[in-house]
Amino acid sequence: MQRLQKPDYKPYFYDITLRDGNQSLKKPWNLEEKLLIFDAITSLNIPAVEIGFPASSEMDYLSCVELSKKADDKTKVSVLARAVKGDIDRALCAIKEAKNSRLHTFITLSPFHMEHVLNKKPSDVAKIAIDAVEYAKKNIVNPNCDIEFSVEHFGDCEENIYFVIDVLKEIAQKGATTINLPNTVERYRPARFINLVKKVKEALSDDIIISVHNHNDLGMATATTVESFFAGAAGVLFKRSWRACRQHRFCSSSGCT
């Protein structure tokens, strides 16, 4: 029987409870509550924490400002921004005093969502994504800040995966160092999603970090996450969130960052 080969990279833990978990609450956490949860997460030596979505509300913006100041240089604090200049400006302002930070921006590239949600042509959506990363890169003032780009609904990109790969190559050239591949709605068995992850991993350079964010709609997020590790992903996120606890894997062929 063939033995499973051990990957040559280590897991990297990335927690998004304070952002993704918070958005599911009827009453979002205030600063005091977020500080309690942040302290609990960092007490576990989790190296990266997504602390909020600054453009979503003044309360969340102010919480991100305070949490980014509180975090030491061993904890990477990340904030979310849609692929629009206003969100990116707000996010970068929120983390400008962080010792170790990340700007996380996103847009969907799935055929269904580009046509029926964004009501845009693929070429137009590609331009929005690429321009957003380029804008973020040019406006980062903190030398300790990097960029993550997420393909929202990546799990629904099977039919246009090579279009997605071409867009991601340009996004990486513009300055994104992490590419996140979310299974935003789990519709398929793990093997189909993992096949897409492999294609992206093989197409991008080794210095690009690949992450996956698996949702648990069909109850297979853990299996998909484990197998994604062996497909080139490394790292695990612990979080309590909506839709029965999502799984997020943060991965790198070059090891932890």
Parallel/antiparallel/unpaired status of strands 178-183 and 145-152: parallel
Name which residue leads in pLDDT, 152 or 233.
152
Question: Looking at the domain assignment, is residue 145 inside a domain?
Answer: yes
| N-terminal to C-terminal alpha carbon distance within the chain | 35
Write out the H or E segment, with its range, that includes residue 137. helix 122-139
Encode 19-44 in three state secondary structure.
HHHHHHCCCCCCHHHHHHHHHHHHCC
Q: What is the mean pLDDT of residues 5-29?
A: 84
Residues 59-75 have a mean pLDDT of: 97
Please report which confidence band the pLDDT of residue 250 belongs to, taking 50, 70 and 90 as the band edges: very low
Q: How many domains does the chain have?
A: 1
What is the mean predicted confidence (pLDDT) over 179-185? 92
3 inside domain: no
Residue 21's pLDDT is 84
Work out the pLDDT band at 242, boundaries 50, 70, 90. very low
Model pLDDT, residue 112: 97
- Decide if 165 contacts 200 (C-beta within 8 A): yes
pLDDT computed for residue 230 by the predictor: 84
- Confidence band (pLDDT; 50, 70, 90) for 35? very high
43 belongs to a structural domain: yes
Note the pLDDT tens digit of each residue in 128-167: 999 999 999 999 999 999 999 999 999 999 999 999 999 9
Own/partner pairs for 110-113, CB < 8 Å, 24+ apart?
Answer: 110/152, 110/153, 110/154, 110/156, 110/157, 110/160, 111/156, 111/157, 111/159, 111/160, 112/153, 112/156, 113/152, 113/153, 113/156
Is 155 contained in some domain?
yes
Residues spanned by the domain of 104: 14-251
Alpha carbons 237 and 250: distance in angstroms, whole number: 7
Whether 6 shows a pLDDT value over 90: the answer reads no
Residue at 5 is within a domain: no
Three-class SS of residue 9? coil
Q: What is the pLDDT of residue 145?
A: 97
Task: Answer yes or no: is 242 within a domain.
Answer: yes
Q: What is the mean pLDDT of residues 204-227?
A: 89
Confidence at residue 12, expressed as pLDDT on a 0 to 100 scale: 79
- Percentage above 70 pLDDT, the chain: 89
Top pLDDT among 2 and 148 is at 148
Report the pLDDT value the prediction gives residue 255, as an integer from 0 to 100: 33
pLDDT at 3: 58
Q: 1 in a domain, yes or no?
A: no
In a domain, 257, yes or no: no
Q: How far apart are CA 62 and CA 75, in angstroms?
A: 19
Give the whole-angstrom CA distance, residue 86 versus residue 13.
Answer: 29
3-state secondary structure of 5: coil
The answer on pLDDT for 215 being more than 80 is yes
Give the pLDDT confidence score for residue 195 in this predicted structure.
95
Q: What is the CATH number of the domain that holds 211?
A: 3.20.20.70
